[in-house]
Amino acid sequence: MNYNKPRLFYYRTAQAVSWLVSKLMFRRKILRNEIKEVDGPFVVIANHQASLDFVNLIGMTKRPMTFVISNSFYSTLPVKGFMDKMGVIPKQQFQTSIKDMKLMKAVTDAGQPLVIYPAGLMCEDGLSTPIPAATYKFLKWLKADIYVARTSGTYFAMPKWTKGFRPGRTYMDVYKLFTKEELANADISEIREKTENAILFDAYREQEELRIKYANNSDIRGLEHVLYMCPHCKSEFTIVSKETNKLCCTNCGYEQSFDAYAFMHKTGSVGQEIRYVSDWSKLIYTELKDKIRDGVSNTLSASAKICMIDEKTNKFTEAGRGIVTLSPAGFNINGTMRGEAVDLDISIANVPSLPFSPGKYLEVQRGNTIYRCYPDDGKLVMKFINMIKIFYELDRELTKSDKLSEAN
**pLDDT tens-digit readout, 140-181:** 999 999 999 999 999 999 999 999 899 999 999 999 999 999
Q: Where do the domains of the chain lie, and which CATH numbers do they carry?
A: 8-210 (3.40.1130.10), 223-293 (no CATH), 300-407 (2.30.29.30)
Query: Is residue 397's pLDDT more than 90?
Result: no
> Phi first, then psi: what are they for 406, rounded to 5°?
-65, -35
More confident residue, 18 or 81: 18
pLDDT over 80 at 107, yes or no:
yes
Who contacts 313 (Cβ-Cβ below 8 Å, separation ≥6)? none
Q: Does the pLDDT of residue 314 top 90, yes or no?
A: no
pLDDT score at 296: 84
Assess whether pLDDT exceeds 50 at residue 408.
no
**349 vs 338, higher pLDDT:** 338
Q: What is the largest CA-CA distance in the chain?
A: 64
Q: What is the pLDDT of residue 256?
A: 97
Instruction: Please give the full DSSP string across 114-145, using - where no structure is assigned.
Output: EEE-TT-S--SSSBPPPPPTTHHHHHHHH-SE
Check the CA dihedral 386-389-391-396 and report its sign: negative
Q: Which residue has the higher pLDDT, 91 or 174?
A: 174
Amino acid 185: pLDDT: 94
Over residues 293-316, mean pLDDT = 91
* pLDDT averaged over every residue in the chain: 92
Contacts of 18 (CB under 8 A, 6+ apart): 54, 55, 56, 58, 59
Confidence of residue 1 (pLDDT cuts 50, 70, 90): confident
| Residue 401 pLDDT greater than 60, yes or no | no
